[in-house]
A and B are shown apart, each in its own frame.
Chain A
Amino acid sequence: MIKVSGLVKSFTQGKNITEVLKDVDLKIEEGEFVAIMGPSGSGKSTLLQLLGGLDSPTNGKIEIDGKAISEMSENQRTIFRRKNIGIIFQNYQLLNNLTVEENIAFPLYADGTLDKEKMKEVKELIQAVGLNELNKKQANLLSGGQQQRVAIARSLVNHPGVLLADEPTGNLDRSKAEEILLLLTQFHKKNNQTIVMVTHDIFAAGFADKIILFKDGTIEQIISREEENYAQYLANFMA
């Protein structure tokens, strides 16, 4: 479970202080697939970075599975992240000089836990994302869709409880985006991971159980896919 309380994040540039997140409170249950939407600069990506421990909040508390990552040192956050959180980036962020297999196994390398058993899992993951023919190919030689599949496999390799996805389909066309989202949903159902996905795309958000709408650094509304006026509200908000 992810629990965020009184979260504030501000950036200082010279004498100007910009508050990107303003006293955000949020709770995401274990196994939920949540999409965060909002206009540019609304603070959604900042929230995702704070959840991933890539940055520390100015104020407030973030707990993941009972662990207050907002109170951890940078090193502790790094170690927590590689064991408990998977991240998928919009521009894939693969390590170009590594092969598909090496990219996927990277978090295990970093953790020093790669063994034969884990390597078998890596190969299974490669198969699961449909790249078994390409496992020895260098990452920069793959198409955008293939690279994002590698990124998804990489985010899952440590069996993280939480998966954070920042615009995972932002660079893909509709058919490739659908493939990726179906893949994510498939893994979500299989592993019961908590997924937090930041997106601009209503189509992508439609795959989530719950949508958090962000505006000016605060949560405007949280709506569930089950709600009656879900689609209409979403369209109005994004417009």
Chain B
Amino acid sequence: MLNIWRISWRNITRKKKRFVLTLLAIIMGTSFITAMLIADRTTKDVFDYYEEMYTGNADFWILSDEHTYPEEIIDTVQNHQDVDETLMALDKQTFLDLPGEYSDSQLAVRITGVDNLNSNLLKLPVVEGELDNEGLVIPETVADLLHVDVGDTLSFREMGEVKISAIVEYTQLLSSPGSWERAASSSFRMMAPLDLLQERAGLEGEISYIRLSTLGNDEKLFRDIQEELSDTSAFIQPVVADDRQSNDVEGLYTFFYLIAILTMFISGFIVFNMIYTGVIERKKEFAIMKSLGYGQISISRLILMEVSFIAMIGTIIGVPIGIWLGDLFMMTLLGIFEYDMVYSLNWFMPTVISLVAGIIFPVLFSMFPIYSAGKTSILENLKMGANTGPNGKVHWIRYVIGFGLLLFLFIDSPVSYIGLILSVVILSPLFLKIFSMLIKPIILLCMGHPGRMAISNLNKQLYRNANTAALLSVGIAVIILLGALSDAAPENYASQIKANYGGDVRLTAEKPWSASDLDRINDKDFVESSTLLTEATPITWINKDMHLRQFSIIGVDQNSLYYDDFNYTSFENNDTLSIILGERAFQEWGGKIGEDIFVHTPEGTKPFEVIDVAVTSHYSGYVAFMDEEQLSHQFGWENSFDLLIHLDENATEESVRNALWSEFGGFLSKVIFVEDEIASTTSAFEGMNELIQFMLVLVILLASVGTANTLIMNTFERTSEIGTMRALGFTILQVKNMVLLEGFLIGLAGVLGGLLTGLCLLVVASNSALIGDFVTVYLPVESIILTVAAGILLSLIASWISSSTASKIDIQSSLKEG
């Protein structure tokens, strides 16, 4: 009996090099998909994990617009019948007392005192020591930086020494700088028992907030407490796991999927090429099989088995590589965030999806050859022998569609990018034809007859060669777009931050700024002007999908320094409760301008009309703006914890920082210069840029595997022709040059097409209302040089493989084949 698998194996390995390259394409495609899916899910897990750790099991918290409030305010709350567990906390800013030359800003530390470190409302992953409610809890990064261990003591200014009880992993509650350089702009964070902190800070009976979990009747509890607290500075808010204000990773997921789709597309094309050429070569074989009684379906099934077989081999090898690649990617990615985040690889579902996708996508891409094999005509093929495949004629309908798709460029939608990429693929034969016509005189002049033959061969397999070039073009175009985004984004972010930061430096205090504090500040030589920034946080609200979200609402008035991009008069002309949303908040909300957003206020949930969308750098746009009076009236938010300062032009950053910390260090929690904000926003881009370049060089590598595959197929198909050329006097060198030149021309066409497409994408993107603010028609020179060099070099390497195959063609046997 015939072993169908053995026959399939024999068939797919008939052409060894082609088999290896196709397998390589499937392996690369599958491993990329696996890696990207793993990266996507693991990143989501990591952020969910830290978000959950931050919120604990708490359902509500009660905060105040003053720094602290007396514990007795919430006595009745603690005893409410629906309250299950509570956790009281006090935040206190102080300084480490360390020997050595450190500035005050570097030594700033914020200690959070809690009444039970083992509470269910707190998640502290202990690395070393115990949560004994007696000593300090510090994050691992700080322990490493200060070279301290459990049992050691740390000394604080005016608060004395405290023993370290436990060292914990990274958690958002204790997120601290890992270097002295970063310590200059952000405080260390530690935890201590509440009573100890209250006593040392002289704040007995005071707390900053209380977290609580309920027994289930949330709505009633919420209403009861709202009522209870109505005459106090405290207010209740639901605890919402929403950290969009502090991180903007959605763009990252889009990037992951973009890379995965791109690699799948390229791999699929390589598989299509291999199977289609194989089918054309074997038409005579199929004709014989049909003449012996095989039906259309049987032949299609045979090819399907062959494709499935190679897909299975590729997937089995590709998926483990993908898991390893995913792990590597996660390490690099989280390294960018500078925190010691831990992750456990979410590999199971991505592996299952990749196993299915790895087998299905090559089959999908091979549907046409599979169908074509079944449709083989007995008479035509037995009479004429194997055909040489499609000719190089240009079909006008194809080009009408291609040019039609270019009209998508005028639509501001993500669809326009897909339209452009499709039109690149569709128009690529025309482009290659025109390109070869234009370059022919130069090639003839430089390369003589091998050049003439290379040009002629390009046109002979016009569609295949054009598709190969198109793959490279698409890869390069995406690189240019992403390169421009990641090159220009820091600059654009910087200018946007500068435009609406509201000053040169922002001071955040742990108590509201008093009039006397402001006088002292304004008396400083380095201060030109100052303005209070009122920010109510965290305010919870409901999006259109009825999910709870939280952000800050910034109070604005006519004199506010910190908005540029929306019109304050919108508030004046509006009698209703109104709000302006930042871009990301607007997107997350999901409504339209003029509709109401529901926000939790101390008086209950109220509708606010969304009257505008602001392009702002504050919290990367995940923020809202409200008229200051309305904010005070609706939220009872009277105080300002933030102060924006415009500096004198002669002031230096270091002297200002030191002066502020030494005079106001007792209650300052953050001193953030606009440059600090720019640096922290853009530093992630630099890391991302390297990652993008690395990933996209891999995409070009995959596209080059496609080029190698195409050229090898071109060579195999022309074995007899190359044999004839050799018989007629073409030297081995001339044959090699001819094939090398073919590869070079495909690569060059791909690179030029890619540059052109990339520029079009840039123009579309920069005119887009969606991302236009972050893209300018600007050439990312570094990315372009890298891609052009990589594209041409890898195409040459790819063509070298087939040129050496072509040069080894045996003249006699190739003539017999003909």
Binding site for B on A (CB under 8 A): 49, 52, 54-55, 74-75, 78-79, 81-83, 87, 89, 91, 93-98, 106-107, 109-112, 154
Contacts and interface: CB of A to CB of B under 8 A. Distances in A.
Contacts of B731: 75, 78-79, 110
B388 interface: yes
A97 B732 contact: no
B448 A93 contact: no
Given A93-B720, A93-B818, A97-B457, 13 more contacts: A55-B812, A74-B732, A78-B732, A79-B729, A82-B730, A87-B728, A89-B727, A91-B818, A93-B727, A94-B724, A97-B459, A106-B725, A107-B729
B734 A96 contact: no
A52 B724 CA distance: 13
Interface in B700-731: 720-721, 723-731
Nearest to A95: B721
Nearest to B721: A95
A110 B723 CA distance: 14
A55 B448 CA distance: 27
B41 interface: no
A20 to B, nearest CB: 11
Contacts of B460: 97
A93 B814 CA distance: 10
B811 interface: yes
Would you call the interface of chain B mostly helix, strand, loop, or mixed? helix
21 contacts: A49-B812, A54-B726, A54-B812, A55-B812, A78-B726, A78-B731, A78-B732, A81-B727, A82-B728, A82-B729, A83-B729, A89-B724, A93-B723, A93-B724, A93-B815, A95-B725, A97-B460, A106-B728, A109-B448, A110-B730, A112-B449
Contacts of B811: 49, 54-55
B732 A75 contact: yes
Interface in B439-490: 448-449, 452, 456-457, 459-460
A98 B726 CA distance: 16
Contacts of A111: 729
Contacts of A98: 456
B727 A96 contact: no
Contacts of B457: 97
A109 B452 contact: yes
A104 B818 CA distance: 18
A58 to B, nearest CB: 14
Nearest to B388: A96
B727 A110 contact: no
B448 A78 contact: no
A110 B812 contact: no
Which 8 residue pairs are nearest across A and B when measured between Cβ atoms? Answer: A82-B729, A109-B449, A93-B724, A110-B729, A97-B460, A54-B811, A78-B731, A110-B730
Contacts of A52: 727
Contacts of B456: 97-98
Contact of A87 (B727, B732, B734): B727
B724 A112 contact: no
A176 B733 CA distance: 38
B449 A110 contact: yes
Task: Identify the interface centre among B460, B724, B729, B734: most chain A CB within 10 Å of its CB.
Answer: B729
Task: Identify the interface centre among A54, A55, A87, A97: most chain B CB within 10 Å of its CB.
Answer: A97
A82 B726 CA distance: 9
Contacts of B818: 89, 91, 93
Nearest to A84: B729
A110 B720 CA distance: 17
Contacts of B733: 75
Nearest to A75: B731
A111 B449 CA distance: 9
A81 B727 CA distance: 8
A89 B457 CA distance: 22
Task: Identify the interface centre among B456, B726, B728, B731: most chain A CB within 10 Å of its CB.
Answer: B728
Contacts of A107: 728-729
Contacts of B728: 81-82, 87, 106-107, 110, 154
B721 A110 contact: no
A207 to B, nearest CB: 23
A106 B449 CA distance: 9
Contact of A112 (B448, B723, B815): B448
A79 B449 CA distance: 15
Contacts of A55: 811-812
A111 B730 CA distance: 8
Nearest to B724: A93
B815 to A, nearest CB: 6
Contacts of B732: 74-75, 78
A74 B807 CA distance: 12
A196 to B, nearest CB: 15
Given A93-B818, A96-B388, A110 B734 contact: yes
Interface in B763-811: 811
Contacts of A93: 720, 723-724, 727, 815, 818
A95 B729 contact: no
Task: Identify the interface centre among B723, B730, B734: most chain A CB within 10 Å of its CB.
Answer: B730
B815 A89 contact: yes
Nearest to B461: A97
A90 B660 CA distance: 96
Contacts of A96: 388, 721
Nearest to B449: A109
Nearest to A83: B729
Task: Identify the interface centre among B721, B727, B733, B734: most chain A CB within 10 Å of its CB.
Answer: B727
Contacts of A78: 726, 729-732
